[in-house]
Structure 1
Amino acid sequence: MAEASSSSAPAPPLDPEAIAAVADAAPPEEMTLVAKWKGQDYTVQVVGDDTLGELKRRICEVTGVLPKRQKLLYPKFKLMECEDSGLISSIPFKPGVKINMIGTVEDEIFVDQEDDPDILDDYEIGQNEATAIKDKDVYKQKLKRRASQYKIKILNPCRKGKKLLVLDIDYTLFDHRSSAENPNELMRPYLHEFLSAVYAEYDIMIWSATSMKWVEMKMDQLGVLGNPNYKITALMDHLAMITVQSENQSEKKTFDCKPLGVIWAQCPEYYNETNTIMFDDLRRNFVMNPQNGLVIKPYKRTHSNRKTDHELVKLTQYLLTIAELEDFSKLDHNAWESFTENAKRRRHR
């Protein structure tokens, strides 16, 4: 297994400005790389405007080793010192070359995403910045590739004429930081009542920024899968996400987001921007589709807040109210509470 010696020159810095510059370049060419792990070769496809973090996602797809557990070694280049935000085009890869990978497959129950160094402060993402990000050609190309590569885990058939509700897990449906003997103690209050009520009008997909194993395990333990009162249409994990860069001129950072276009491209006869809404406690996760995202109040400290958290009860009313509308993309989901109150007043006149 080859690795650069300590006397070799330090790895060149990967300029974050290069990410934005790629948007004006010609369409990137696909590159084939081989990851060698535990004596076996795994072929992955990347392009120049992919980041090192996205390469790790591709390796995760074929090996099962989560990106945060991977150490990549490349001859004569200190790959482990490179930031995940660096572009593949900034690394002197040769097509078909082998990358040695060290990593362990492990069962992850709690994934501390907030500990990752490149996470962007959610409140730095404003409406104008979100629009600038989603309109860049480089991210549109990434979305197109992700939609063609990723396979949504369909559990139940899509239903014609239904709206689509996409739900995050951590801090949206589940307090993943508090400790408890029973997973139900960490479940957000009224979860099953909420899902049962909105199922009448919405297909429901669960999309977590963690591994599929975690998604299936938690949803099963919470009694969401196989519930007799509603059906989950599909599950999605971190491999469906894409990496983008903030437009903050003072400090550009990269972060992952959940582009709904992956779903719309694979299920065009059922869902689109007019009938889809996503709940997430992090605004950055729907930066590619800001008009379709609703920032839900994070559910934390379950032992203190279990008796007072009524967020899902109130959001049930909102979802059932807007289900009558033809176009969700024209709504301001930031004002969802006042919208619900105004609708209630109109009904009682």
Structure 2
Amino acid sequence: MAGASSSAAPEEEVTLTVKWSGKEYTVRVCGDDAVGELKRRICEVTNVLPKRQKLLYPKVGSKLANDSLLLSDLPLKSSLKMTMIGTVEDDIIVDQVDSPEIVDDFELGQDEVVDIKDKFVNKQKLKRRVNQYKIVLRNPCRKDKKLLVLDIDYTLFDHRSTAENPLQLMRPYLHEFLSAVYAEYDIIIWSATSMKWVELKMEQLGVLNNPNYKITALLDHLAMINVQSESRGVFECKPLGLIWAHFPEFYNSRNTIMFDDLRRNFVMNPQNGLTIRPFRKAHANRDTDQELVKLTQYLLSIADLDDISVLDHKHWEKYSEAHSKRRRHT
């Protein structure tokens, strides 16, 4: 939009110069991106986490503190320079530093989900993310295996409780679960936090080098996109299309399932999401939590299906019970 005096058009690419720590960095965004996406792009070149960034821009005031505000609503000029104030976190001392707390999860209506999933602007955002984000394989994709994508916080780990040893906050039966489903599924970990946090947590929990299973890849917050709904405004989600685009010969909508405690993360691929019960208050619940045991049974019971996206994963427990009864009567 070089030199334009008005707001960026929704699909128009904008090149911005960001000054930080005595250096200048160039980032490219579009008008249909939100401020949160701009911060994500800045994070890629500076390693300053989005939530640690304070952006200063002429005549904009405090608007850049609103991550859900669309850039097309701001008078951005490529001829002006933005200043960022923020600090790189070299050491993560406590989990809470790098893990946002989201308590206002929601479920959108069916029509709204279809609208978001099929909207051209969101497909374009996904396309840009596919081009921008590189997935680094830790282990090779395996032919004829389905794909299991797992969140971390409240799914595998209680990131808000405190403990002397992180293993005390690990969800019960995690290693047994991963070992069992690895026979039928490749496993990708995807967290809405930084890669540093993902690697640290998975290493502390003994997931990255377990002899009984292998993790295919790790994804972080930079792989997410922002979408907009009429009822809930702008929010971020995890589009599985990113993985499918990178590895089309292995994974697709028919053989992928994702576990997350936040329903909103499934909005671009609702047929592939299973909302797991959040694992909170680990010290009180770790002796009774059986979620991963039950989900092991479900994943293995559907592993032979040609298309698992036709299932309604909301009713996974009923499906598992019915499958168990059928097996007992055969």
What range is the shorter-chain TM-score in? over 0.9
Q: Identify if the C-alpha distance between structure 1 residues 304 and 82 changes in structure 2 by more than 3 Å, giving closer, same or farther.
A: closer
Partner of 2:112: 129
Structure 1 position 294 matched with structure 2 position 274: yes
Pairwise CA distance, 1:80 = 5.0
Partner of 1:145: 128
Deviates more, 1:102-111 or 1:290-299: 102-111
**AA at the equivalent of 1:114:** E
CA contact (8 A) 1:133 1:247 kept: no
Partner of 1:99: 82
Over residues 2-36 of structure 1, what are the superposed CA-to-partner deviations in whole Å (9 max), with x where a residue is unaligned? xxxxxxxxxxxx9xxx9xx95xxxxx222211111
Aligned residue for 2:25, secondary structure, equals strand
CA contact (8 A) 1:147 1:266 kept: yes
Partner of 1:6: none
Partner of 1:254: 234
Structure 1 position 238 matched with structure 2 position 228: no
CA contact (8 A) 2:142 2:186 kept: yes
Partner of 1:200: 183
Partner of 2:297: 317
Partner of 1:36: 19
Deviates more, 1:252-261 or 1:307-316: 252-261
Runs of 5+ in structure 2 lacking a partner? Answer: 1-6
Pairwise CA distance, 1:42 = 1.1
Over residues 189-210 of structure 1, what are the superposed CA-to-partner deviations in whole Å (9 max), with x where a residue is unaligned? 0000000000010000000000
Pairwise CA distance, 1:81 = 5.2
Aligned residue for 2:250, secondary structure, equals coil
Q: Distance in 1 between matches of 2:305 and 2:26?
A: 46
Partner of 1:3: none
Structure 1 position 216 matched with structure 2 position 199: yes
Q: Distance in 1 between matches of 2:121 and 2:282?
A: 40
Match for residue 160 of structure 2 among 177, 180, 193: 177
Aligned residue for 1:114, secondary structure, equals coil
Deviates more, 1:46-55 or 1:86-95: 86-95
Q: Distance in 2 between matches of 1:267 and 1:98?
A: 38
Equivalences for residues 68-79 of structure 1 within 5 A: 68-79=51-62
Over residues 128-168 of structure 1, what are the superposed CA-to-partner deviations in whole Å (9 max), with x where a residue is unaligned? 32222111111111111111101113211111111000000
Q: Distance in 2 between matches of 1:135 and 1:88?
A: 22
CA contact (8 A) 2:35 2:64 kept: no
Pairwise CA distance, 1:175 = 0.4
Aligned residue for 1:123, secondary structure, equals coil
CA contact (8 A) 2:255 2:306 kept: yes
Pairwise CA distance, 1:85 = 1.5
CA contact (8 A) 1:132 1:247 kept: no
Q: Distance in 2 between matches of 1:219 and 1:147?
A: 24
Pairwise CA distance, 1:90 = 1.7
Aligned residue for 2:128, secondary structure, equals helix
Partner of 2:310: 330
Match for residue 88 of structure 1 among 58, 61, 71: 71
Aligned residue for 2:76, secondary structure, equals coil
CA contact (8 A) 2:99 2:193 kept: no
TM-score normalised by L of structure 2: 0.93
Aligned residue for 2:24, secondary structure, equals strand
Equivalences for residues 279-290 of structure 1 within 5 A: 279-290=259-270
Root mean square deviation of aligned Cα: 1.8
CA contact (8 A) 2:56 2:64 kept: no
Q: Identify if the C-alpha distance between structure 1 residues 140 and 74 changes in structure 2 by more than 3 Å, giving closer, same or farther.
A: same
Q: Identify if the C-alpha distance between structure 1 residues 199 and 29 changes in structure 2 by more than 3 Å, giving closer, same or farther.
A: same
Structure 1 position 348 matched with structure 2 position 324: no
Pairwise CA distance, 1:255 = 1.2
Over residues 264-288 of structure 1, what are the superposed CA-to-partner deviations in whole Å (9 max), with x where a residue is unaligned? 1111111000000000001001111
TM-score normalised by L of structure 1: 0.88
Aligned residue for 1:134, secondary structure, equals helix
Aligned residue for 1:216, secondary structure, equals helix
Over residues 285-342 of structure 1, what are the superposed CA-to-partner deviations in whole Å (9 max), with x where a residue is unaligned? 1111000000001101111111100100010010011010000110100010110111
How many residues get paired?
319
Q: Distance in 2 between matches of 1:75 and 1:283?
A: 37
Runs of 5+ in structure 1 lacking a partner? Answer: 1-13, 23-27
Q: Distance in 1 between matches of 2:209 and 2:323?
A: 34
Pairwise CA distance, 1:93 = 1.4
CA contact (8 A) 1:318 1:337 kept: yes
Q: Identify if the C-alpha distance between structure 1 residues 91 and 340 changes in structure 2 by more than 3 Å, giving closer, same or farther.
A: same
CA contact (8 A) 2:107 2:263 kept: no
Overall identity of the aligned pairs, in %: 69
Partner of 2:3: none
